[in-house]
Structure formats: C-alpha cells, structure tokens
Structure 1
Amino acid sequence: MITADAVLIDGVFVTASLGILDGIIAAIGTGGLPGSGERIRLSPGTVLLPGLVDTHVHVNEPGRTDWEGFASATRAAAAGGVTTIIDMPLNSIPATVDAAALEVKREIAARKAVVDVGFWGGAVPTSLGHLGELHNRGVFGFKCFLAPSGVDEFPHLDAEQLDDALAEVAGLGALLIVHAEDPGVLDAHENAGGTGYGDFVASRPNEAELVAIDRVIDGARRTGARAHILHLSSAAALPRLAAVKAEGLPITVETCPHYLCFTAEQIPDGATQFKCCPPIRDEHNRDLLWQGLLDGVIDIIVSDHSPSTRELKLGHGGDFGLAWGGISGLQLGLSAIWTEARRRGIPLERVLGWMSQAPADLIGLPAKGRIRVGADADLVAFAPDASFTVDVEALFHRNRVSAYEGRQLTGVVRETWLRGEVVDLGPTAVPRGVLLSR
C-alpha cells in the first residue's frame, strides 16, 4: 500500500492510499486501507503521480546502439518518471518497416527494458500496401516523413504516397503519425549552414510546417483516416488545426518540451546541442504553443528523444548544417515542463494530463497514465518544490549531451514504480519491462 498527502486522481490531488495487488491498483481509499503487506508513506511535499507515457522515443537499437539503446533509454525514462515508451521505427537498422524487423527489435527490448515498451511501424514507399502485416502484429500505428528523414533507410513519402498511406491506414482503422515539413519549401530555403542559429531557423521556416500540415488535413478529409501531427514547432499552424478539430476531423497534435522551454533568442550561435527539426522558434511562438495546449488544440507533450553520439551532435565546429538534429530529453521532460508551467501559473494537474493520460488515450492504453482501480500500478513519487541543476554526467542517456545542461529545473522524481514494484536503475537490475501491443 502507498499513501500520500497528495495523489493525482481524476485530475485532482487528494489524500489517499492505494492498495496494489498483482501489479494492479486494486483499491483506493481516502481514509487508509485495511490489510497487511508493505506500507509506504510518502514524505510531506512529495506527491504521487501516474507514470508518464511517452509516445515519441527514438531508441535506435539495433544498428545504432552507440547512439542509444533499450537498456539506457528505459533507465533514463524511469529516472524521469516515464513508465511507458513507444519506440519510433527509424534510426534503428533495420528500420521497423516489416514484420521481421519488428521481431528483431522486440527480442532485444524484451531482454533489456526496465519500463514497458511498445512500437510504431514505418510507412515508407516500399511498405505501402503491406502495412497490415505490422498492424496485425500490434504496432500502435505508422510513422511517415513528408521530407527527408535524415537516414537513408527511412525514405519519405511524396504527396501521392501520403494519400495512399492515409487510405491504407483508414482501411485498417489505424493511426498515421506524420513528420510534417514540406520538402519543396525546405529546398527553396536551403542555405549554406554555418554556425548562425538564425540561419538554421530560416532554412526551416514556418511555411514548411504549414504546407505539410495542410496536405495531411486534406488527405484525412478525403480518406477519413486518423492522423497525428508530430512535434509541432510552428504556432502559425494552430488556427487551422483548431478549425479542423472543430469540424470533427480525427486529427491530433503533439509538441515537445524543447519547444515549450527554449526560445531562439536564448540559443547562441554554434550551440548545436539545440538543433532539432523542425527548429526551436522565437519567444512569441513559444507563448502561443502554451496557449494551444491550454485551448486543447495541442493534445499531448512528448519528448521526441532523438539522441546521437557526441561527435555527431557537437563535432562539426558548431555548424548547424552538419550536426545531427535531435534533442536528448527523455529523462528531463517532466521537470522541464513543470518548471516552465509553474512559472506560467499552470497547475501540475494540467501537466500530467498532457504527459500521462492523453498520450495513453491516443494509442489506446486505458490501463496506463492514470490512477484508478484496475489501472496498472505505474506510479511516480515527485517532489514539485525541489530543484536541481542538470549535470549531463548524471543522466542515464548513453551519450551525455543535452540542451538542458546547466539549466536549473524544478521538480525531482524521487521514485518510480512499474506495476507496483520500484524500478531498479542499477546496471545489474533484472529488466521487468513488458512489451506492449495495440
């Protein structure tokens, strides 16, 4: 049994005790619960939260395990209060575009994961027409790019292929998740790169997202497919997304901690640890993204954890055109978002809605991301008033590089439970993560 003065239940903090049986929340009481067994009482100032669900994680194993891997990624997740991750189909070799590649990845994850793991499939030109093979094996949906992905083994879809993917996904009753940047706009704004952060942002303007999102909207309207816009960085897209949501089109939207915490004005020239695609934009844009969350236009916050080696990220003399584009933030997302939300007067309850229950609902996991009878006992002890300074050497990510290095954050994860048992973060811990299927 776990008791705390503040337990997040149905979006409200209450004093409660949780009875846990066989990894499931079996009872919730506001005046204590009878029975024997271990009794844990959280200290004053520590709240009990549902485990976070992060549906956008690049684990990169197999094939690029020097970038990350299931052992390091899932420990980083647990250290940051994340108890469920959904692995992206690219940056691993082979990419998860067929059943054989999925089975390779599942076999590796089963031996190494300390939190629960599910998988996205890939919609690339060669997998179109065969997505049902992965769908039948339990992937949570299919990811595609509308512009080059950055790795040759995961090519993007052109306009006609996007329509084909949406139609196929609609027929399966599945979900298409889309990296929405338009290659024509990117080509028109291509520049020589270099160390200037402003030049990098100019090479990936708002228009690239707007044109691509319009294409997804048009395709979803024609086919009836469910579509999800990944890592929205451009607040200029919010009005049209609000309109199509009001229309009832089945389109959902995510953004990421780095778009909500950093601004272009703060990023020095040559600081390639901040490079991501689409890019971090200006302060006004950041404010509008927060408003998009509050208004319900943006549905979830997930990490887009996309690590690489230090050499790929930092070894090009600060040239944004050459550095790998991705932010390592899986372990820090909750604290980073809570730091900024608190500054804005947004309560922790809202933050957890965006980072726990809503992502679980997106992919159809009703036993995750919430504290209620019958749900998995995936829990987090969180000290919302404690603070720390990010030391990359203390992170569990395989490569100790992060845009958050040296940043003071508020909110510390004290303990994480997976199905009622404390997650052991030690290198010799027995992995207890379960492989999830749709």
Structure 2
Amino acid sequence: MSKLLIRNARLVNEGQVVETDVLIENGFISQIKSGLSDSGVTRIIDAKGTYLLPGVIDDQVHFREPGLTHKATIGSEARAAVAGGVTSFMEMPNTVPNALTQELLAQKYDIAANSSLANYSFFMGASNNNLDEVLRTNTADVCGIKVFMGSSTGNMLVDNEQVLDRLFRESPMLIATHCEDEATIRANTEHYKAEYGDYATAGLHPLIRNEQACLISSSMAVELARRHNTRLHILHISTADELALFDNKLPLTEKRITAEVCVHHLWFDSEDYARLGNLIKCNPAIKAPYHKEALLAGLLDDKLDIIATDHAPHTWAEKQQHYWQAPSGLPLVQHPLLLMLDFVKQGKLSIETLVRKMCHAPADCFQIDRRGYVREGYWADLVLVDPALSMTVSKENIQYQCGWSPLEGHTFGSTVTHTIISGKLAYENGQFATDQPGVRLLFSR
C-alpha cells in the first residue's frame, strides 16, 4: 500500500484557499485536513509556500500519433503536459489515418496505455460518411464526438447539412465543434492570393479566417443544438462577436451549450504576427487586440466556460515555409498553467477562477469520473506550484518533440514543481517517473 503525504500546502479548490495536508493512498485522496499523521507514509512532500491545485484538464490537444509522429507522439507530448501541470488530456481525431472508426479509435487508446504519462481520452471523429460508426461510440469511456465545421486534416470536414442535422439529433453524447465557415475562408483565400500572391505573410491570417467565418459556423452549431437539445461544446472561441451566442445565467452543470477559450487567444493578438509570423498561425486565427480583451471578459463573465490549449505542434522546418504552405497550430500544452498564473499575478483573474476554469469546469463539462477537484475519494491528480520561483522558457527546458515554443524567452513568475497523476508522483523538479503511466479517463453519464 503506497501512501503519499503533502504537508502545509495552500490548497486552491472549490473557490477557497486553505492551508492543509493531503493524504494519498493507492491512487486516491483519502484525507484532507491539517495535522495528518505520517504513520505508514512512504513519502512526505513539504509544500510550505506553494499552491496545491487540482491537475489541469486540457480538453483539446493534437498529439499527432498515429501517422504524424515526425511532429510529436502521444508519449512525448504527454510528458510535456505533465511538466506543465496538465494531468489529463483529450486528444483530437485528425491524425493519420483519421479516427473515424471504432477500431482506429481503439488503436489510439492502446498507444496511450503504453506510453502516456498523463491520463487520457480521445475524441471519436465525424465525417460526412461515418455517422452510423459515430453513433456506436461508448459514452462511458470516450470523451466526445469531434466535428470539424471548417477546413481540417483529411476527410473530416462535415458540411453535409443532412448529416449534421442527424448527428445533432441522435448523438448520445457531447459534440465538440471546430467552427469556421468553409465557404467564407475559401472566398477570402482566393481574394488575398490574387492581391498578395507570393508576398502574403501571416498577418493576413486573421483576415482570411475572419470574424464572419467564425460567427457563421458557431451560429449554425448553436442553432442545431437548440433545435435538438444537443449537448454541444464549441472549441476555441476567438472573437468578441461569438460571445452573444452563450448563456452565463445557468450554472455549468445545467448548460446544454458550453464554450471554451484557448490560452493563445488570451495571450497573443494580431500585433504579434510582425514578431512571430507563422509561429502563431493557427485555426481559428489569433485576431485583433480587442478580441483578446473581450474573450477575457467573457471568461470572467462565465460566457466562456473552460480554458484549454489546442496544442498542435509542427516541426520548425514546416513553420519556416511560406505563409501559404506553413501549417496552422502551435505547441502550448507545457505552459497553460504558467500563462494563466501570470494573469493572476497581473490581477486579470483570481487563482480561484483559474482553478475553476482549468480544473473544475472541464471535469463538470465532460462529466469526468472523480477528477478535477481535490476531494476525499477522488483520484489524486494534483499539481504543486511555487509562486515565488520564476522560470524562463528556453530550448533547454522545452519538452515538446518539435523543440520550439512561441513563448521562448518569456519569463514566467511561477514554476510547476510537482505533478501527481492518479496518485503517483510523475514529475518532480524537472525529473520524470517514466515508468508510471496515466490511465484512461472514465465518464459518469
């Protein structure tokens, strides 16, 4: 029987910050109170001066395996996640081949079972041609169904209105959507190619994948969900225009339509293209500064429910191509907690709100079984953060397989010191316990 005792931590949980001890036994939190006995304990961590948080749950990542392992693997990116305090992830189906059958989906779970240091789940992918296969998805052990209502990798653009209507009508589980209108993007692309040709740069990206493309598609998804009472979650909202689609009057557990914002849409804006170019080219695009401010306000006002990353690594060489050829996506899963802790230090949000949006809300939104909170009887997914120890992002401490980050050179005001995955100490002061894999997420639906 393994016992891990965390002493003297400032626990941030369920809207409160309290100094306490936490005892972990056989993967679960067994006791939370001050002055716990160390009898039979195999390891004690003195957490005085640090924050103890529930592990971050990232509901949107692209770990590139299978088929794109020159960019990343489930194993490499899960390690990066754990180094940043992300204890659980939900990964997208646009790998190669796309996860469009139950067999292909199961293969990804098999890979993760053998290589992922973090806890994991994988979305089932929808296309115009696999609806019956999608409807076979097990609601108890798969996080959701992913629908690209915009351009995407491979055969994953769902633009057949009859298919969309049936999917929203019959889905037994949460549908997560990427919302950008393909017709708008194609028209804008043709226009700017004709105008700029080989002189195009990443600064055009928010004009091509503009506010209108996002709003048209998000509005369609919301209309379908309202028509059929579908459980809809819209990913990576990037515009002020879309905020009016979402309700902030109901508690999260009663909402049928929810939305997330990603850290890069809160951190960067269109003025950063001059400095970073294709390194911050992503879909949906990072847009004008006023969108960034509106998104933060929408997050604080509970129109946006979750903070995620949309981690999507590409090789440095791929990103150095001309704008028209460079792929969209940026690596982020190692640093979302530190990004938002900088916001806390800047007074933009409270640490209690950070925990609610990055830990509690994903667990509630997806109905994850016994995770996302620090409660007795729950899985011990925990993170210790030193708020007085700074760290600078550099190639030497980046864990991504791609080896780069758009945040290189930035100094964060906090450092993740320990990450505990399903009761096991997986990361401690820069070192990994690579023989202790994460486990598959389950869902209480």
CA drift at 1:429 = 2.3
Q: Which residue of 1 aligns with 2:167?
A: 165
Contact 2:47/2:384 (<8 A) preserved: no
Q: Which residue of 1 aligns with 2:29?
A: 25
Q: Secondary structure at the match of 1:267?
A: helix
Q: Which residue of 2 aligns with 1:102?
A: 105
Once the two structures are superposed, what CA deviation does each residue of 1:296-340 show, in whole Å capped at 9, x if it has no partner? Answer: 0000001100112222222x1xx3322110010000111012213
Q: Which amino acid aligns with 1:180?
A: C
CA drift at 1:37 = 1.2
Q: How does 1:131-170 map to 2 (within 5 A)?
A: 131-135=134-138, 138-149=141-152, 151-169=153-171
Q: Which residue of 1 aligns with 2:209?
A: 204
Q: Which residue of 1 aligns with 2:274?
A: 268
Matching residue within 114, 118, 123 for 1:115: 118
CA drift at 1:67 = 1.1
CA drift at 1:211 = 0.6
Q: Secondary structure at the match of 2:40?
A: coil
Q: Which residue of 2 aligns with 1:328?
A: 331
Q: Which residue of 2 aligns with 1:175?
A: 174
Contact 2:11/2:52 (<8 A) preserved: yes
User: Which whole-Å CA distance do the structure 1 matches of 2:18 and 2:275 have between them?
Assistant: 47
**1:351 and 2:357 equivalent?**
no
Q: Which residue of 1 aligns with 2:221?
A: 216
**1:410 and 2:431 equivalent?**
no
CA drift at 1:76 = 0.4
Matching residue within 375, 380, 390 for 1:377: 380
Contact 1:129/1:168 (<8 A) preserved: no
Q: Which residue of 1 aligns with 2:343?
A: 340
Matching residue within 292, 297, 300 for 2:298: 292
Q: Secondary structure at the match of 1:130?
A: helix
User: Which whole-Å CA distance do the structure 2 matches of 1:360 and 1:394 have between them?
Assistant: 29
User: Which whole-Å CA distance do the structure 2 matches of 1:134 and 1:392 have between them?
Assistant: 40
**1:282 and 2:288 equivalent?**
yes
Matching residue within 212, 225, 233 for 1:228: 233
Contact 2:281/2:328 (<8 A) preserved: yes
**1:237 and 2:242 equivalent?**
yes
Q: Secondary structure at the match of 1:118?
A: strand
- Deviates further, 4-13 or 66-75: 4-13
Q: Secondary structure at the match of 1:268?
A: helix
With structure 1 as the length reference, what TM-score do the two structures score? 0.92
Cα RMSD (Å) of the superposition?
A: 2.1
Structure 1 residues 46, 269: CA separation in 2 closer, same or farther (over 3 Å shift)? closer
Q: Give aligned-pair identity as a percent.
A: 30
User: Which whole-Å CA distance do the structure 2 matches of 1:197 and 1:106 have between them?
Assistant: 35
- Where structure 2 has 5 or more consecutive residues not aligned to the other structure, the ranges are none
User: Which whole-Å CA distance do the structure 1 matches of 2:249 and 2:177 have between them?
Assistant: 16
- Where structure 1 has 5 or more consecutive residues not aligned to the other structure, the ranges are none
User: Which whole-Å CA distance do the structure 2 matches of 1:160 and 1:42 have between them?
Assistant: 58
User: Which whole-Å CA distance do the structure 2 matches of 1:426 and 1:12 have between them?
Assistant: 30
Q: Secondary structure at the match of 2:177?
A: strand
Matching residue within 294, 301, 316 for 1:310: 316
Instruction: Figure out how many residues of one structure are paired with residues of the other and give that number.
Output: 429
Structure 1 residues 244, 229: CA separation in 2 closer, same or farther (over 3 Å shift)? farther
User: Which whole-Å CA distance do the structure 2 matches of 1:17 and 1:79 have between them?
Assistant: 23
Contact 1:56/1:86 (<8 A) preserved: yes
User: Which whole-Å CA distance do the structure 2 matches of 1:83 and 1:295 have between them?
Assistant: 26
Contact 1:52/1:356 (<8 A) preserved: yes
CA drift at 1:166 = 0.7
User: Which whole-Å CA distance do the structure 2 matches of 1:132 and 1:159 have between them?
Assistant: 17
User: Which whole-Å CA distance do the structure 2 matches of 1:253 and 1:427 have between them?
Assistant: 33
User: Which whole-Å CA distance do the structure 1 matches of 2:109 and 2:179 have between them?
Assistant: 28
- Deviates further, 292-301 or 383-392: 383-392
Once the two structures are superposed, what CA deviation does each residue of 1:368-406 show, in whole Å capped at 9, x if it has no partner? Answer: 111110111111110123222211332111101221111
User: Which whole-Å CA distance do the structure 2 matches of 1:205 and 1:97 have between them?
Assistant: 29
Structure 1 residues 18, 163: CA separation in 2 closer, same or farther (over 3 Å shift)? same
Q: Which amino acid aligns with 1:116?
A: N
With structure 2 as the length reference, what TM-score do the two structures score? 0.91
Structure 1 residues 293, 216: CA separation in 2 closer, same or farther (over 3 Å shift)? same
User: Which whole-Å CA distance do the structure 1 matches of 2:175 and 2:122 have between them?
Assistant: 13
Q: Which amino acid aligns with 1:295?
A: D
User: Which whole-Å CA distance do the structure 2 matches of 1:434 and 1:245 have between them?
Assistant: 32
